[in-house]
A and B are shown apart, each in its own frame.
Chain A
Amino acid sequence: MLDQTTTPVLSVKNLKIQATSYPPGEKPKDITIVEDVSFTVQRGKVLGLIGESGAGKSTIGLTSMAFGRGGVRITGGEILVNGRDILKDSQSQLRSLRGQDVTYVSQSAAASFNPSKRLMDQVIEATLRHGILSKNEAKTRAIELFRKLGLPSPETIGDRYPHQVSGGQLQRVMTAMALCPKPSLVVFDEPTTALDVTTQIDVLKAIKEAIRETGVAALYITHDLAVVAQVSDDIMVLRHGKMVEYGATSQIITAPAQAYTQDLVNIRSELHSEKQENGTPILKIENVTARYKSVPINVLKDISVTLEAGHTLAVVGESGSGKSTLARAITGLLPPIAGQISFNDQPLPPAMQDRSKDELRDLQMIFQMADVAMNPRQTVGQIIGRPLTFYFGLRGSARKARIRELLDQIEMGRGFEDRYPAELSGGQKQRVCIARALAAKPKLIICDEVTSALDPLVADGILRLLLDLQAQENVAYLFITHDLATVRAIADKIAVMHKGKIVRYGPKSQVLTPPFDDYTDLLLSSVPEMRLGWLEEVIANAKMQAAGN
């Protein structure tokens, strides 16, 4: 029998993970996803795994449960959980490992709960199946965990179905589900990535306190270094399935040794300083109110903002604040029921079908999901060339030359005209969408969460490109986002939206300087900062405020 107090909860040595890819028309071949990764997690400690998408961090997290998603195989190395080599486990041993020794919290709580079973049944299922507690004991423990995690009405929330609670609550219920069987290790796989900042902070707080109180060890997987810095003792930086840097959190944050880690740490800097108002408004929105036919509630309430030529107005808010609806009202997809939108000092017809071709051309859009915003059966050349023919009647060699020019502008260069969207990376796809919008020579581009689906360094590149293009073409941006770091990086003016209203509006320097209104204060204080102890400060402040009230 191994000594339980000194044996690491999880010890991974020289891990190698492979998958088989099936390229069309060729022989199947093995590709290596993770190579030569080693780490240990001691009892009660938290290790953060950080990296961009495709870095292999989720894959590594799941191997601690000897699970490979979609045909992924562990082909080398050793994984010891409490000193036992789980790669040699039988199927029934693995079942008792999963949900008992090691539990899992996934990114999308909404998808990870069975829609047709009550929350309580799902939370205590593993505890009961592994015979850890009796049904009543398990329920009591679950309710206690619900309370610890700050869930409303902990006694009864378990009787609800997944669709009856909010995303942030569901994420905390899932954390309770992971902690209920008293595991020695919990794998948190991007548990807050899908949440709004103000919700994220509640969940982070709950997770951190739960880890501390239960003394469980954890693997915390995320792409957000500022988040992982708040909860973990050690951090491992991964890239392309290989270890870049591994050390104590304080060392990684304050003295990163590798260039890649340094880039990650320095990412949230201001790229652009605010421009002065020049008195030439390109877009003027006056008292706009809008609603959808199906719901009798105004989604936009009396919105008034102005955007000047060649400037950037950032519209910030959480999901449901109405910021995307504002974009729909401007583009004419959702004609407002009151108020007026003027473009270049001319009133714009409310509905898109009443606008002239030039009015349509002047106003272009870029979307969050570059993937689905392009026809997968068209080549990059066709995608960019379409507005050239539609708006300017360009054909043949003139069109080809202009496509080349645009590709140069988005820094992609030659050889991309004949490629299909599926052959591009996420950042390249978004660049093509930018080129398509630019092809119409617009005066205003509405950017709807254009960097939200991208990895931090790639998003950084897209923001820099947008700023360069603005300087060259004098195009104005209406930049819709939930990410305050992005806003800080590129905006000239900021409008903060909450529940369909603008709660704060003005030049960037003014909006981001105190005194703040309550909502902006909450929003700003919820953005994780890249330093140690930030979360503790926020928790302490919240407690002090609560005591003061």
Chain B
Amino acid sequence: MLSLIAKRLGIGLITVLAVSIIIFLGTKILPGDAAELRLGQSASAENLAVLRERLGLDKPYWQQYLSWLVNFVQGDMGNSLSGDTPISGLIADRYQNTLIVSGLTALIGVPISVALGVMAAMFPGSTYDRVLTFTSVTLVAAPEFFTATLLVLFFVLFLGMGSTIVSGSTDGMGLFELIQHFALPITTLCFVIASQLIRMSRAAVLNVMASPYIEMAILKGIPRRRIILRHALLNAIGPIVNVIALNLAYLITGVIVVEIYFSYQGLATLIVQGVQTRDFVLVQSLGMIFCATYVVIMLIADIAAILANPRQRHPK
């Protein structure tokens, strides 16, 4: 089992390295380099050459790549092209905001959705199941800004609670203050991930419910509730964990619409800004962070699935 986990770790590392090469080469393919972007169109050839030497852009690509990678691993991501400020400082604040919102969303959304999905699997075809399936299909079809707008309409305009714009410092806030502060984006994101999680955990449990050992449990006179909780759920963990991981990865990297809608400063808006200002040093760093986050989350999911499999836990 340990060797299996080590293998997963190795594969994760290779993935990150491969992505780093692609990201590095991707920015090299684009016309213009950091020196040109900084000095502008009218810069003289001498000035460009001096700056290139200072930035190390005159060296061969592989040397540039290696020094970039080593610096990145040490936490030095260089300076932003547009503002000439250290990128690590720029990202730190944003990363914190993103982590708070995604973390809270996961904390609230994942257990509720999985529980709702499992309950739907307990009574397939019941009114509860139908209403839940209908609602989750509707939610999965609704774009995020639409869900957000409905929530704003209902809570802010109708009930007069909270505010549409989520900005300002979050320093020194406790858990409940944070939840209150980010209430609307968190609720919107909960709806987004809930629909998929509910449907997938329902399907995973129902899939297990079709296996012969469940029939055996029924024939042993075990109540349905116990069958689901004690027999089916254990074996459905693998697929459910994978869906949870995919949703967590989305929460870290893909919440652009929600960030912009509620105008709070997260990672997704930062990468949009980086692309708009052609700040490819920033885009490079963010790309690497997204990739590493993705790989780590998937790794945790893989390990969880390995641990949930009795054949791996208890070899012959």
Report chain B residues within 8 Å CB of A111: 211-213
Do A99 and B211 touch across chains, with their CB atoms under 8 A apart? Answer: no
Q: Which residues of B contact A103 (CB under 8 A)?
A: 219-220
A–B Cβ pairs within 8 angstroms, 14 of them: A62-B219, A67-B219, A69-B215, A95-B221, A104-B216, A104-B219, A112-B215, A113-B216, A114-B217, A116-B234, A117-B234, A125-B217, A163-B314, A163-B316
A222 at the interface (CB under 8 A from B): no
- The answer to whether A116 and B235 have CB atoms under 8 Å apart is yes
Interface bin, chain B: 20 to 34
Tell me, yes or no, whether A225 is within 8 Å of chain B by CB. Answer: no
Q: How large is the interface on A (under 10, 10 to 19, 20 to 34, 35 or more residues)?
A: 20 to 34
Chain A residues with Cβ under 8 A from B235's Cβ? 114-116
Contact (A100, B221) CB under 8 Å given A111-B212, A161-B314: yes
A116 to B309, CA, bound (A): 7
A121-148 interface (Cβ within 8 A of B): 125-126, 129-130
Query: Cβ of B311 and Cβ of A115 under 8 Å apart?
Result: yes
Contacts of A98 in B (CB 8 A): 218-221
Determine whether B231 belongs to the interface, using a CB cutoff of 8 Å to chain A.
Answer: yes
B231 with A117: CB separation less than 8 A: yes
Inter-chain contact A97/B216, CB cutoff 8 Å = no
Within B211-253, the residues touching A (CB, 8 Å) are: 211-213, 215-223, 226, 230-231, 234-235
Interfacial residues, chain A to chain B (CB-CB below 8 A): 62, 65, 67, 69, 94-100, 103-104, 106, 108, 111-117, 125-126, 129-130, 160-161, 163-164
- A-B CB proximity, top 10 nearest: A99-B221, A99-B220, A98-B221, A126-B220, A111-B212, A95-B221, A104-B219, A116-B310, A112-B216, A116-B234
- Residue from the set B212, B215, B220, B310 with the largest chain A CB neighbour count within 10 Å: B220
- Determine the main DSSP class of B at the interface with A: helix
Nearest chain A CB to B3 CB, angstrom units:
15
What residues of B have a CB within 8 angstroms of the CB of A113 in the complex? 213, 216
Is there contact, CB below 8 Å, between A129 and B311? no
CA gap between A99 and B226 in the complex, in Å: 15
The answer to the question of B91 belonging to the interface, with a C-beta cut-off of 8 Å to chain A, is: no
Give Cα A114–Cα B230 distance, bound, in whole angstroms: 10
Please state if A129 and B310 are interface contacts (CB–CB under 8 Å). Answer: no
Contact of A114 among B213, B218, B309 (CB under 8 A): B213
How far is it, in angstroms, between the C-alpha of A29 and the C-alpha of B81 when the chains are bound?
73
**Contact (Cβ within 8 A) A164 B316:** yes
**Interface contact A67-B220, CB-CB below 8 Å:** no
**Whole-angstrom distance between the alpha carbons of A365 and B274 in the complex?**
63
A96, B218: Cα distance in complex, Å: 11
**Any A CB within 8 A of the CB of B308:** yes
The answer to whether A106 touches B220 (Cβ under 8 A) is no
User: Given the complex, which residues of A lie within 8 Å of B310, measured CB to CB?
Assistant: 115-116, 161, 163
Interface contact A112-B314, CB-CB below 8 Å: no
Complex Cα gap A113–B220 (Å):
12
| Set of chain A residues within 8 Å of B311, measured between Cβ atoms | 115, 161, 163
| Additional A-B contact list (4), CB under 8 Å, known A104-B219, A116-B235 | A113-B213, A115-B235, A161-B310, A164-B316
Nearest B residue to A98, CB-CB: B221
- CB neighbours of B213 from chain A (8 A): 111-115
Verify B216–A95 contact, CB threshold 8 A. no
Give B222 Cβ to nearest chain A Cβ, in Å. Answer: 6
Of A99, A106, A125, A161, which is within 8 A of B212 by CB?
A: A106
Return chain B residues, CB-CB under 8 Å to A104: 216, 219-220
Contacts of B230 in A (CB 8 A): 117
Nearest-neighbour CB distance to chain B for A81, whole angstroms, equals 13
